[in-house]
A and B are shown apart, each in its own frame.
Chain A
């Protein structure tokens, strides 16, 4: 089936079965590989993208369900003030290690700060719970979100 997606502000026409996970449309068809495959069952968050500004797991979001939504991936998140602040904080603190989960971490962090500009540690942990980092960079993820919050406040 043919679908028209609004991805990172551009219109993209893709041909896919209705039940194809958005993850594989983004990665294999549209060739944006910043969105990662980690588990395929919405259990690690590496595939997180935004649908109309809200983080979703693209491995469990189907292409037929995103018609009319604005899809944003890590490649375009710098265009958002909060996204740019999170990326800056991530670099200041060297949050990444292997980095494979970090696109998803950043997309979730932007989602958190969009609805809660000054989250507490508890609120960070609650919101970020579903984003796994096997390198266990959690300490810096918490600190990175707090730092991004400061950058945005300034």
Chain B
């Protein structure tokens, strides 16, 4: 399969005359050079004109990985960023897998750059080595006397473009571990002036997102869905839609989850869908309201925890709590949230004359739909091809374990004669009301302080809806009943808190739930930091100094304290202008440490305005510092926007929200300046 799926149309000029050099992995995983991508699965391609293309195994949802992986190749090959292009890799879980995910190609969990860092540098270094060796042989000089500078091979008084040596280089072997540039040689890695590779096309309308794909003769499909999550189709009447010009037909999906509506164009599909009457079977549907779900979570918090997360001695924590001179107690509730990426879900499926299935998708976990399609279409994996397009955001939504919208498209495609491509389009309402929400969670925390204001006990009970339970990921994500994504950021806090005890209770799922940008940390970070603040206040201590007191030794603690100090210094902690107030928080999530000082004006009675956010981040090596800064700016905004006003509520199992007017995005006036400082 590695052989077959590597021949792709995206490889610009693939049909052009002249030699091509590919550097990538052989089927046995060893790095190799070749003049054909049937023998290896490439990470980089160089044609006889010297056009270099990085083959990007992760999708691009705005996080900047397309720039990041391209930067790694360019760095090692001695190219400027304007001398390299990129294309998205096809689905190939053997070679393009996320090295942290096993045999799964996919993007998530803040792993894209981390898992690719050595792999893409080695590919770039391998390409550099064979090109230089080919030039050395041609010129009769030693390879050590040559270098690649700005895309030209230079040395010994000679200079020539890379393309001249592509044919010769393709016949050479690549060292198993090619020599990499050392950090002091880096010109691009860590350089804040490196710009995004996708900025121009996203600013001039030329970028093609999944929603923009326009295959010849394609049909648009939309799905009429039930109001109540999980209801199924009994029957439908499409007579009302017959008069809509461009309406083709409607059909019940094989899983009865909805009615597929086919039309010649998007507007016709939207109109026709509105005019189709469906009779629903609600016997299997969600019927609870969000108030009931909240009551269930709160009741669980009042009962003993189902799981002892860290296997600590609850009685010992209680004994210490009894000795405390002050106990700070707080209960929290976090509602369901929608991801609401700007680009609603969509994808397009076509069948080739030879019977292959092609999925065109802003595909976050290609291996998911790849395997699902193999089953649905009863085809071997190599008869299914996935072409990844730019994606208008995800925040986790495009990565469902069951490949929900791609499977929906496949079922809609199955109901046709397959002679026309089918493009599945969701509206904003489909998205906001479509489930896969950030689960609702509750926390109850008691912090015991001694007479010196030192924490001597921390009892923490978390209750909510497990994301992983009941999914294919349960086996590796749920241990002894504990879904790590329910407690991450709390039970594994780097804070050195004595006599801490963490309990977890699972509450049955409302609808379906899904990871949402930062997953468990979306609630645990808030709770941990609010409790540290309240404990500091009870102790009469400065919130910064109080936190530092629990981050005294260990690598984790030192890095966490480091960003805390940096944010405090850059923000002028304790020196807020008159009428402004400051708050500070710090958290470790997915291997990165982030501290923020937020400066606000206003009052609790009149509301507050966020004047300034000062952020310090330690993410290890920042390959593209300006993109890291952009991610921090965006993450801060995404968090604040939802904390301010957004939630999904349910009445009798049906979402109450419809679209942006009642699921109001953060607006430009909601947030002031954000200064990001990278360690």
State which of B198, B205, B265, B671 has its C-beta within 8 Å of the C-beta of A75: B205
A31 and B214 form a contact (CB under 8 A): yes
**Chain B, Cβ-Cβ closest to A106:** B203
Q: Which 7 A-B pairs have the closest CB atoms?
A: A34-B205, A136-B637, A100-B392, A98-B62, A99-B202, A97-B62, A33-B212
- Main SS of chain A's interface residues? loop
**Interface residue ranges of B655-676 to A (CB < 8 Å):** 659-661, 665-671, 673-674
Chain A residue nearest to B212 (CB atoms) is A33
Residue numbers of B with Cβ under 8 A of A are 61-64, 195-196, 198-200, 202-209, 211-212, 214, 245, 265-267, 270, 340-344, 390-393, 395, 427-428, 626-627, 630-631, 633-638, 641, 659-661, 665-671, 673-674
Known: A41-B661, A100-B393, A132-B665. A94 touches B626 (CB 8 A): yes
Q: Are A96 and B206 in contact (CB under 8 A)?
A: no
Interface: A149 (CB within 8 A):
no
What residue in chain B is nearest A16 (Cβ atoms)? B267
Of chain A, the residue at the smallest CB distance from B661 is A43
Judge whether A53 is part of the interface by a CB distance below 8 angstroms. no
A127-B122 Cα distance, complex, nearest whole Å: 48
Query: Cβ of A129 and Cβ of B667 under 8 Å apart?
Result: yes
> Is A74 part of the binding interface, using a Cβ–Cβ cutoff of 8 Å?
yes
Partner of A33, one of B63, B208, B393: B208
A146 interface residue (CB < 8 Å to B) = no
- The verdict on A96 contacting B674 (CB below 8 Å), with A136-B641, A136-B666 known, is no
List the B residue with the shortest CB-CB distance to A141: B668
Verify B674–A139 contact, CB threshold 8 A. Answer: yes
Contact of A128 among B203, B267, B427, B668 (CB under 8 A): B668
Expressed in whole angstroms, the minimum distance between the Cβ of B193 and any Cβ of chain A is 10
Task: Tell whether A81 is near chain B: CB-to-CB under 8 Å.
Answer: no
Do B198 and A99 touch across chains, with their CB atoms under 8 A apart?
yes
CB atoms of A99 and B633 under 8 A apart: no
Contact partners of A98 in chain B: CB under 8 A:
61-62, 341-343, 390-393
Q: Contacts A24-B266, A98-B393 given; 10 further ones with Cβ under 8 A?
A: A36-B343, A40-B659, A74-B204, A94-B199, A96-B62, A97-B63, A97-B631, A98-B391, A134-B393, A136-B638
Residues A40 and B428 in contact, CB atoms below 8 Å apart: yes
21 A-B pairs with C-beta separation under 8 A: A24-B266, A24-B267, A27-B266, A28-B265, A33-B205, A36-B392, A40-B659, A44-B665, A46-B342, A78-B204, A87-B203, A94-B626, A96-B199, A96-B202, A97-B63, A98-B343, A98-B390, A99-B392, A124-B668, A135-B62, A136-B637
For chain A, give the interface size range.
35 or more
* Contact yes or no, B671 A138, CB < 8 A: yes
Contact A44/B342 with A97-B63, A100-B393 known, Cβ cut-off 8 Å:
yes
A127-154, CB under 8 A of B: which get 1 and which 0? 0110111111111111000000000000
> Is the pair B266, A37 in contact by a Cβ cutoff of 8 Å?
yes
With A21-B267, A94-B196 in contact, do A140 and B340 touch (Cβ < 8 Å)? no
Q: Name which residue of chain A comes closest to B675, CB basis.
A: A139
CA–CA, A84 to B670, complex, Å?
28
Q: Please give me the residue from chain A that is nearest to B199 by CB atom.
A: A91
- The answer to whether A96 touches B203, judged by C-beta atoms less than 8 angstroms apart, is yes
**Interfacial chain B residues near A96, Cβ < 8 Å:** 62, 196, 198-199, 202-203
Report chain A residues within 8 Å CB of B638.
134-136
* A33-B213 Cα distance, complex, nearest whole Å: 9
Give the CA-CA distance A5 to B212 in the complex, in Å. Answer: 21
Q: Which chain A residues border B340 with CB–CB below 8 Å?
A: 134
Q: Do B195 and A91 have beta carbons less than 8 Å apart?
A: yes
Of chain B, the residue at the smallest CB distance from A32 is B205
Verify B427–A40 contact, CB threshold 8 A.
Answer: yes
Contact of B200 among A91, A128, A136, A137 (CB under 8 A): A91
Name the residue in B630, B633, B636, B671 with the highest tally of chain A Cβ atoms < 10 Å from its Cβ.
B630
Bound form: Cα–Cα A135–B62 in Å: 8
Please name the residue on chain A nearest to B342 by beta carbon.
A100
Point out the residues of chain B lying under 8 angstroms from A39, CB to CB: 428, 659-660
Q: Nearest B residue to A25 by beta-carbon distance?
A: B267
Q: How far is the CB of A135 from chain B (nearest CB, A)?
A: 5
B267 in contact with A99 (CB, 8 Å): no
Alpha-carbon distance A20/B207, docked complex (angstroms): 25
| Distance of A94 Cα from B67 Cα, bound (Å) | 12
